[in-house]
Amino acid sequence: MKRGFTFIELIVVIGIILVITGVVVVNYNSYNDRQRVVQSIANLKSDLRFAQTQAQGGKRPTSNPCDDFVGYSVTLNTGSYTISPSCLDTVDGNPYTYTESLTRSFMPGVSMTVPSSIPYQFLYYPLTRGTSLTDILTVTLENISGYEKSVTVSTSGIVSE
């Protein structure tokens, strides 16, 4: 009696291993794509809360202090967002933003949608006066395979999922 495996048995086992490996790789890539959205939404929530806290505390810019501090400006683009202090221009009375800003890009394959046109901008007012939003803002991040997560900002500035 011979011991060992036939060539057919070895081919079947190798085929099964390849199928299992393929399933694992596909699921891992899908998981990785979802985690990019999850991490991007976590960063966005954290940065929005940072802007809210800075504005509520009245933290003015340090590079060029201003007397007419109006809050922190948040500008949302398709692939990134910018948060910066904002003051009123003493000449024309229009708000202007500073170069000392936080700009963050979303992870590759993640894009953002907001209910109106991009870029979308709003302001966190100082000293718990809320935001310049007239209605609740819902920001949705989505990956190329359709997985999405949303974050909302209320008119009072509360950030939630």
Look at residue 15 in the predicted model and tell me its pLDDT: 93
Residues of the chain scoring pLDDT < 70: 1, 64-65, 89-99
Tell me: the pLDDT tens digits for 18-43?
999 888 887 777 788 888 888 999 99
Respond yes or no on whether the N-terminal peptide bond of residue 108 is cis (omega within 30° of 0).
no
Tokens standing for residue 103: 């700009």
Beta strands in the chain (DSSP E): 69-76, 80-88, 95-97, 102-105, 110-113, 120-124, 137-143, 148-153, 159-160
Residues whose CB falls within 8 Å of the CB of residue 68, separated by 6 or more in sequence, listed in order? 87, 88, 90
Question: CA-to-CA distance for 21 and 7, rounded, in angstroms?
Answer: 21
> What is the dotted CATH code of the domain comprising 7-160?
3.55.40.10
Look at residue 71 in the predicted model and tell me its pLDDT: 86
Q: pTM (2 decimals)?
A: 0.77
Look at residue 47 in the predicted model and tell me its pLDDT: 92
